[in-house]
Every structure is written in structure tokens, then in C-alpha cells.
Chains A and B, each alone.
Chain A
Amino acid sequence: MAACSIEDLLAKAEQDEAEKLKSITVQKELDLEFDIGNLVAYDKNRIDIRQFREQKKEDFLRSLARDNTQLLVNEIWKHPTERVEEVIVVKLPEPTTPLPREKPPPKPRPPTKWEEFAKLKGIQKKKKTNLVWDDVAKNELHRLRNIARAQKIKVPGVGLTPTAQQSKTDLARAVNVAKSSTASAGKFQDRLPKEKAPRNTGKKRKFQPVIGNFSNEKQRQLDLLKVLDSKKPRLDVNKAVNKQMREDDREESAAKFKKGGKKGRKGGNFSGKGKGGGGKGKGRAGGKGQGPPSGKKGAGKPGKR
């Protein structure tokens, strides 16, 4: 009796279970394909036309939809879940269905001015080869250096060093150096017919940076103002002396000329030494005090600014 009842109980339990699961199990011939990332299920089962025609169409479709949705939800529940703010949330995987473009594809951008020019001229993009150290040239360079050291002459800093490939800039620089290595620093050297004048020659003017040292700048300006403030003219002794000497020489030669004109050649010999010795002493220039008005004070006469 007890065994019977236990079997009964078990059977009943099973039946109950089956009952419960019935609502969520669905039987299909072909399994559905799922793309959980997009929450999509593809049902490839054939639709029974006879069944479709027999039943009411609405009911048939509804039951079909219900079954497929059930399968989709079952599939969703298979994925890992997490609890976010008291709500159970399923972490969706990556979508597998490729979707078409949302926006039209980008149009090819118009070629830049350089690209057009390059196409026109047929310029190809040339990759610069990695520079490799030339052993032969290295030997040559070291040989020259040794010679220079032995003979104690300087190696030319700029010029043609014996390497195989000279770049255009190197050659140009060498030419310029060679041209200006004359007694008059290249001033009277003729240029070749098509040679262009070298640019970027002349003293390059250096400017202080915009935000330099402020205290330095202030100090410099204050010093300048102090110089402007002081009333006496600043005397540059060297300049004054040189100027004075030049003037003396000029006076002397003028006097000599006049004297030579009057007395003839005879008296001309002893004109030089007597006056010249006395005149050229530095004490005389110092004694003049102010000397020629040099220096930076021009504040009195700015004229119409």
C-alpha cells in the first residue's frame, strides 16, 4: 500500500512538473535561430497550410507568435543576469545580424591642391632612404683630420668633404664659402650668368623673446632712462680720441700742402716732425674735456615727431 502510494505520489509529482513546464515548453520541428543582441528570433519552420486554413486565421497567428516569443524569452533567460537597482537585467551579447547603413556612404573627398599638382606634373611620392654611414667616406674624413692634426692646420668646416652624394644645400654652401674667401670677402667676384644672389646673407637681427625675464627687461629700461636723464653727454673716449687724431692729421696735411705750395720743395722736409710729435699726444684730447659731442642725448631736439 505504502509503495503504491509513494509511486502514485511520484507520478503525481511528475505530472505536476510537466504541467508546469508545459506552459513554457514549445515543440518545434526546426530549432529557431536567435540573435539575442538584437532581440531577434528567426523561425524557419514550414507553416502548415491546412492548419492555417482550418483554424481562424487570427488565432493561428496568435498562437504561432506566442510560441515563438516564448522560445525567444527562454533563450534570453539563458544569458547571464544581474541586478541593477532592484531590477533583474540580462546582459545582451553582441548582435550577429549585419544591418544595412543608416546614412549614405561618404563621398570621396576632392583632391587637395598639392595632390592635383602632383598628378599634373607626374610627381611620385619618394620615400627618403635611410642614410647609411659610408665607410669609405669615413676613412677619407678621418684621414684628412689626421693630416690636419699632423700639420697643425684647421680642417675646413664648410666645404666639399669627399663624400659621394652631395646635397644641393651642401654644394650651395660650399660655393658661397669659396666665393667669399677672397681678399675682399667676395665683394668683387662675378656671378655665373644664371646664378642667383645668395639670400639670407647679412647680419641676422636677434630679438628678445616676447615673454622674457621681466625683471631683466625692467632693469634694462630703467638703465636706459637713467642715461637719458643724466644731463651731461656721455663721452666715448676711444671715439673721441680717434676723431681728434683724424682731424689733426687732416689739418696737418692741409697745412703741409699750403706750405709746400708757398716755399717750394726745399722747405717741405722738416714740416712733418716738429708739429706732428706734439700734436698726437693723448693728453691733448683728454684736456679738451667735452670733446666732440657724441653720446646718446638728443632729447633736446626731437624735431617734429
Chain B
Amino acid sequence: MCDTFLLSVHSIGENIKHLVDRPDGTYCFRLHNDRVYYISETILKLATNISRGKLVSVGTCFGKFTKTIKFRLHITALDFLAPYAKFKVWVKPGQEQSFLYGNHVLKSGLGRITENTNQYQGVVVYSMADVPLGFGVAAKSTQECRRVDPMSIVVFHQADIGEFIRSEDTLT
């Protein structure tokens, strides 16, 4: 499971070893109830005092493992992963809101995209003002994006910051 998790997070960016190896303290990933949490060592030690059944959430939830052991990244990981993003997609102001409501990004709303993005590459979606909006998966490689028609999907929506309001109750 550690491999699956690191693999899917690794596809976002190469420098996530900075998440593991931090100068200001030891942080680690822990699996609890199918969710992966990113916690500092001190919090981890405190959390061991709470029984497993009663513990709801620790630190920051990065994502969860689905029933078929696929890893699904959550929006709560955005703050940590956005700085290390290698492949970015910028969305035009008009389409921003559509993305924040959970829709996929169409070619018409695509502002910029990093060179050499492969198809099905994990990307971080930004607004034109360089504000991170969420995670996605590139539906087409950069080359294809250039010549495809305006109504086709270029980025599959995975998580967006609108979820903080939409799924407030279920976000751990």
C-alpha cells in the first residue's frame, strides 16, 4: 500500500521527498481507516493515546484507499502538494467557476499547460492568478491539447477547493 500511495503522489511532482525529509521536524504518513494522514511525530505520539475506534482524524488527510485499493487524492492535500507540482494547468477566469463546481476542464477554458505533459498525468490546476484550485488528470497530452476541438475535455476533475464547502461534512 505504501508503494501505491507514493506512486500516485509521485506522479504529481518529483520533489515530494521534501515532504518526507523536512528540516523542521519528522513528519510521517499513517494509514487509519483506509485514509492516509500526514502528521508530525509529536502529534502522532499524542494520537496513540486515543483508541482506534474513537480516533476520527489526525493531522492532514491526504487521501484514501478505495474499496479496490486505488488511491484517491483529497483536496486537503493541496496545500502540501501544490508547491511541488511539476505539471500545471492554468484555467481561464471564465471556466474557473465551472471547475470549482466539479466539472471537467474543457479546451475552451484552458489557459496554459506545462510542456511535455503526458496523457493521464496527474496535474495541479491553477487559476490565471496562480492560485491553486485543485487536482486533476490530464486527459490529453500537451501536443494533443493544441490541436483538439474547443468542446473536448482536457483535464479530468479530481478535487477542487469548492469541496471545502460542498462536502464540508464528509471532509476529514
Contact = CB atoms under 8 A, between A and B. Distances in A.
Interface string B21-40: 10000101110000000000
Contact of A299 (B11, B28, B156): B11
B6 interface: yes
A301 B72 CA distance: 15
A89 to B, nearest CB: 48
B15 to A, nearest CB: 9
Contacts of B3: 224, 296
Contacts of B10: 225, 228-229, 299
Interface string A266-289: 000000000000000000000000
Majority SS of interface residues in chain B?
A: mixed
Instruction: Please indicate which of the listed interface residues A221, A229, A298 has the most CB atoms of chain B within 10 Å of its own CB.
Output: A221
A300 interface: yes
A263 interface: no
B20 A225 contact: yes
A211 B71 contact: no
B14 A229 contact: yes
A304 interface: yes
Interface residues of B, number: 31
A302 B120 contact: yes
Instruction: Please indicate which of the listed interface residues A217, A218, A225, A300 has the most CB atoms of chain B within 10 Å of its own CB.
Output: A225
A291 to B, nearest CB: 22
Contacts of B77: none
Contact of A218 (B21, B71, B73, B120): B21
A211 B8 CA distance: 24
Given A225-B20, A303-B120, A304-B156, A211 B7 contact: no
Nearest to B47: A210
B2 to A, nearest CB: 7
A225 B17 contact: yes
Contacts of B118: 300
Nearest to B137: A304
B70 interface: yes
B138 to A, nearest CB: 11
Instruction: Please indicate which of the listed interface residues A210, A222, A229, A303 has the most CB atoms of chain B within 10 Å of its own CB.
Output: A210
A188 interface: no
B120 A225 contact: no
Contacts of B7: 228, 298-299, 302
Contact of B30 (A210, A224, A296): A210
Contacts of A299: 7, 10-11
Contact of B48 (A211, A222, A228, A296): A211
A288 B27 CA distance: 43
Nearest to A210: B48
B44 interface: yes
B16 interface: yes
Contacts of A133: none
B122 interface: yes
A204 interface: no
Contact of B8 (A210, A222, A302): A302
Interface in B61-92: 70-73
A222 B122 CA distance: 21
Interface in A214-263: 214, 217-218, 221-222, 224-226, 228-229
B28 A222 contact: no
A305 B137 contact: yes
B158 A221 contact: no
27 contacts: A210-B44, A210-B48, A214-B26, A214-B41, A217-B28, A221-B17, A221-B20, A221-B29, A222-B20, A224-B2, A224-B3, A225-B6, A225-B17, A228-B7, A228-B10, A296-B3, A300-B118, A301-B120, A302-B7, A303-B120, A304-B137, A305-B8, A305-B70, A305-B71, A305-B72, A305-B122, A305-B137
Given A217-B28, A222-B20, A305-B137, 14 more contacts: A211-B45, A214-B41, A218-B26, A221-B17, A221-B20, A222-B21, A229-B10, A300-B118, A300-B121, A301-B120, A302-B7, A302-B8, A302-B120, A305-B70
Interface of B: 2-3, 6-8, 10-11, 14, 16-17, 20-21, 26, 28-30, 41, 44-45, 48, 70-73, 118, 120-122, 137, 156, 158
